[in-house]
Chains A and B, each alone.
Chain A
């Protein structure tokens, strides 16, 4: 596992006048509902512990009201926590003075917003260079760097347009270029693509993955869309009512959902596209003669087996056989999981 970039420890956020006193009540088992009914406080985040690896895409997902946007705003302290700790590169973010925090925001972390949050009175290039201007970068360098990112996100020729003249997808490219222009190592994306229509969203996801391929930033991506989470996430954290329900790789979540909430979440996804053959393989080998790379998805693996007219295949990694898969196991694993009988699926 790669090194830890951001570490969130025992984070609580309780909205209300006496948030600090309420932490104890939550630790003693008070639920979101009872806290609201009996104490008029809103539980935002409840004992969140997440270690976010460097240079990966960490997805945080949950339905609206699950606290994901609250959580991401704690990382750059747009929201102050009620209790807990946040470390970035081993440095305690919550201990920073106002000045240190400004420097931290200018250099370490940048953010992309759901509704783009561009400055309507500035042109595209001035929006992209906003972060650099705040930092006090000199004019020529600012212009060169902004231009580079405008070209990189495919907005060449729109430098002098105002945001209102661009489509939603183009506006969010400006938002992305603005965040990338400061060269921050950490990119926070708060439902960055949720406001876009599906085709444009897919486009933007691919742009992001493309950029990540060469930039290797630590990206923290908030979404309520599981397909999006599975498509771009290296790791996924699932939040519900401000608490972490499950964290793991996309495959782990699909294969082994922690509870009915997660199970219900994943029931409509295309499992064959998420799972790869190594996720369903068994030990041993077979002499069917077909070899499949371990990272091949089932969606591609199964037709390959049908085409070769075999029912099993060896799973290969770095030229070695690391296990075998059978067509039956593969089909079994893409069946939609049923909720436990007799249990009611509830969200809140």
Chain B
């Protein structure tokens, strides 16, 4: 029997790691609200989380940002969470189809595409038509920001080809902010985040094809009231203000 002791010692960390996951939900800890949100909501939701914690004594808001699709798939798999906020309907539908949303998802914000250029707009890109003359980038057709860009470009009859189809909107922004591309199509909220690194140019007709943001409480939430409070805060006047400051528009 003692011969096998070293094996047990080796396996001990595994066993302890397993326990760690369980004890998190134990009583006595400060109450937690887990919000899973699209990466573009980082700034707005971080501000709102501070407000929420001020109003709810002893509650800790745990924010987890990522790709909407990835987050929706994780909660559909049963991962813990109280509220899910996605950057498009397709991603939210994954959660709805898996029956993990506790209520009908609501639309709480919209995000429009803008053209970003280097500061001072040296290439003189003023509209979608000007893209034909420069090296420009957008999101790939398969990701949400690419779908929005595609319908915007098709609607405007623009046939100019980008030099790169980026994997997500942050990568698109990065290519412009680092000067590798002359222009890029990103969400207004991303242009706000980038600050002085880029200049943003509004696109005619972008308000017709916005990215629509959905919010829903999750079935696996341990405190439905708290989840409801979060949704109320996001939809309140101060919630709208935080979203507008971050570049979003009201639905």
Q: Do A and B bind each other?
A: no
